[in-house]
Amino acid sequence: MRSGGPGVRMNHDSDEHFMAMALAEAEAGAAEGQTPFGAVVVNGAGEVVGSGHNRVRADRDPTAHGEMVALRDAWRRLGTRERLAECTVYTSCEPCLMCSYVLTQFRLRRVVYAARGTDVPAYRPLLDADLSAVAGWVGRQSDWSPIEVRGDLLRERAVAVLRAFDWG
């Protein structure tokens, strides 16, 4: 994967800080009875411009994944879709195929995730694809903006959040 452009690259300490915020979103969602997935969107200046957690059950909206909620929040705050391209998304779990596609369409340059999809009980990947596979494919396309992926950051904490949730 390529590294982000000017103002996009975060350092290791800031990555951990923002991932902790995404995990707090996941925990807040779980406390509300939502599946424990959370995300934050951070601009190139290191400011949180969007946040959210899974709201599928509450909103009766199958697209209300944590990443989607955070992106909608960021778009409202930033005012234009184009400004999302400078952002990094921190998410408590590797984005599903739907979220991965949306991230590429907004041309986000960087995604950092904690847990792997395979850490989620009853995980069933669509087309055997995950964000890393999507990012690799996107990177080989001449007319798509490449996306940098960093995985497994604070994974143990994320897995603990997943295990604490009643999936029944």
pTM: 0.90
> What is the 3-class SS of the chain, one letter each residue?
CCCCCCCCCCCHHHHHHHHHHHHHHHHHHHHCCCCCCEEEEECCCCCEEEEEECCHHHHCCCCCCHHHHHHHHHHHHHCCHHHHHHCEEEEEECCCHHHHHHHHHCCCCEEEEEECHHHCCCCCCHHHCCHHHHHHHHHCCCCCCCCEEECCCCHHHHHHHHHHCCCC
| 67 belongs to the catalytic site | yes
Q: Per-residue pLDDT tens, the chain, 168 aa: give them.
A: 333 333 344 566 799 999 999 999 999 999 999 999 999 999 999 999 999 999 999 999 999 999 999 999 999 999 999 999 999 999 999 999 899 989 988 999 899 999 999 999 888 877 877 888 888 888 898 888 888 999 999 999 999 999 999 988
> What does the pLDDT look like over 18-60, one tens digit per residue?
999 999 999 999 999 999 999 999 999 999 999 999 999 999 9
Q: Which one from 16, 25, 27, 67 is the annotated catalytic residue?
A: 67
